[in-house]
Amino acid sequence: MKSIHQLPDWPKFKWNDTSLLPLLADIRHRQGLLLGRMQGLGFSLRNEANLSTLTADVIKSSAIEGEKLDPEQVRSSLAKRLGLEFAGTATPSRNVEGVVEMMLDATQKYGEPLTKQRLFGWHAALFPTGYSGLYKITVGKWRKPEDDPMQVISGPEGRKTVHFEAPFAELLEKEMSAFLKWFEGKGLDPVMKAAIAHLWYVTIHPFEDGNGRIARAIADVGLARADGTSERFYSMSAQIEAEREEYYDQLEATQRGTLDITPWLKWFLECLSRAIASSEKQLEAAFEKTKIWERIGPSLVNERQRKVINRLLDGFVGNLTSSKYARLAKCSPDTALRDIKDLLSRNVLIQDEGGGRSTSYSLADTPPAGDA
């Protein structure tokens, strides 16, 4: 069976507005509500919510391709590049830095034109060593004829599934020129454009590797344009990763169908709706964090204590000891102990069961605001 790029009218996509417009209207409404609520969080907590969303986007987009990234490295790299305070100790690898660089270029510079050279830069950032795993690949250029046929696959080695074959390399310049011109055109809602762009780009599959991550970054450009802000408060990549099997099923079915892509657009919009719903849980966590800080009294703690408390609120892994406090706050052991005793005296921290060298501390359930 032919793939859609082999059909005579490619790429003249069609869809049924009647079935899609109610979904689109609901999403646009919920996007507005979410952005409005996030504005009410205040600058600091908005930054943290944005950082958490971008971290999830980077990690989950790579996870879809079977690559596991260290969350601490990703978060640390993002925070540094965004100029945000983050008391992390992880040193990001070159691969992490590259994925982060691509994602930030897509979301922070969403208003800039999507060009061939920009995509080449993204691809080079994804593969800083020129290798994909153990294999040397062509970086920062369209794939070559010797790579044909380019098969779009998923799954681990030994159990890979071939979903479709992409256009031959000799067609890529023409195919990508048409795609990029369309992407920068006017007249289509940017959410719909994000959905179509994802499918269109994946169909072309212009690079030797990394196409899935770049496709999702392109969709993020469209969604950022829809929101009109570089701040990201929901992660489409995280939702796609959660629905990965259905994602590939939809792609494969669409590739083997007609140029009426209504089922794909419906699935994409519904997946986006679920992504926005998932973000509401993070929003509630942010509001809870605000309440805790109101009880603690942010003006009553020093900068070191603020860093450590924020790490605990962000889901610190393991037990907080005085030595870990010293590393996180970048202070001496004596200073760490003084800070901890101060927080214990005001019921911000409580001492866990046990003692001696294993003494550890946790946030109190209801730390009260009050005088120092």
Domain CATH number, residue 342: 1.10.10.10
One domain for residues 201 and 322: no
C-alpha closest to that of 102 among 153, 139, 156, 150: 139
In sequence order, which ranges of the chain are alpha helices (DSSP H)? 17-39, 43-64, 71-82, 94-108, 116-126, 172-183, 190-204, 211-227, 236-242, 244-255, 262-296, 303-313, 322-329, 333-345
Bridge partners of residue 136, in order along the sequence: 131
Q: Domain count for the chain, please give it.
A: 2
Please give the share of the chain, as a percent, with pLDDT higher than 90: 65
One domain for residues 195 and 101: yes
Residues 313, 327 contacting (CB under 8 angstroms): no
One domain for residues 182 and 306: no
Q: What is the pLDDT of residue 364?
A: 86
The stretch 257-266 carries a mean pLDDT of: 97
- Boundaries of domain holding 260: 4-287
Most confident of 56-60, 156-160, 277-281: 56-60
One domain for residues 255 and 342: no
* 323 falls within a domain: yes
Structure tokens, 232: 């990201």
The stretch 268-285 carries a mean pLDDT of: 87
* 36 falls within a domain: yes
Structure tokens, 288: 């809870």
Bridge partners of residue 320, in order along the sequence: 361
Model pTM score: 0.79
Q: What is the pLDDT of residues 203-213, one digit of tens each?
A: 999 999 999 99
* 8 falls within a domain: yes
Q: What is the pLDDT of residue 354?
A: 73
Q: What is the pLDDT of residue 91?
A: 85
One domain for residues 231 and 359: no
| CATH number of the domain bearing residue 211 | 1.10.3290.10
One domain for residues 235 and 316: no
The stretch 231-258 carries a mean pLDDT of: 94
One domain for residues 191 and 124: yes
Q: Among 256, 287, 318, give the residue marking a domain's end.
A: 287
Structure tokens, 172: 């890529």
One domain for residues 238 and 342: no
Q: What is the pLDDT of residues 74-122, one digit of tens each?
A: 988 998 899 886 545 578 899 999 999 999 999 999 999 999 999 999 9
* 371 falls within a domain: no
Q: Among 265, 287, 309, give the residue marking a domain's end.
A: 287
One domain for residues 278 and 311: no
One domain for residues 154 and 220: yes
What's the pLDDT band for 155 if we cut at 50, 70, 90? Answer: low
Q: What is the pLDDT of residue 44?
A: 74
Phi, psi at 52, each rounded to 5°: -65, -40
| Cα–Cα distances in angstroms (integers) from residue 108 to residues 45, 78, 101, 128, 222, in the given order | 18, 12, 10, 21, 12
Q: What is the pLDDT of residue 168?
A: 95
* 369 falls within a domain: no
* 205 falls within a domain: yes
* 125 falls within a domain: yes
One domain for residues 256 and 327: no
* 372 falls within a domain: no
Write the CB contacts of 171 (distance below 8 Å, at least 6 apart in sequence).
none
User: Per mean pLDDT, which range of 65-74, 158-167, 280-289 is the poorest?
Assistant: 280-289
One domain for residues 194 and 113: yes
C-alpha 85/C-alpha 69 separation (Å) is: 21
Q: Among 287, 306, 340, give the residue marking a domain's end.
A: 287
What's the pLDDT band for 147 if we cut at 50, 70, 90? Answer: confident
Structure tokens, 143: 């794939």
C-alpha closest to that of 349 among 302, 288, 298, 308: 308
Q: What is the pLDDT of residues 283-326, one digit of tens each?
A: 777 667 777 877 888 778 898 998 899 888 877 778 899 999 99
User: Per mean pLDDT, which range of 7-11, 42-46, 78-82 is the poorest?
Assistant: 42-46
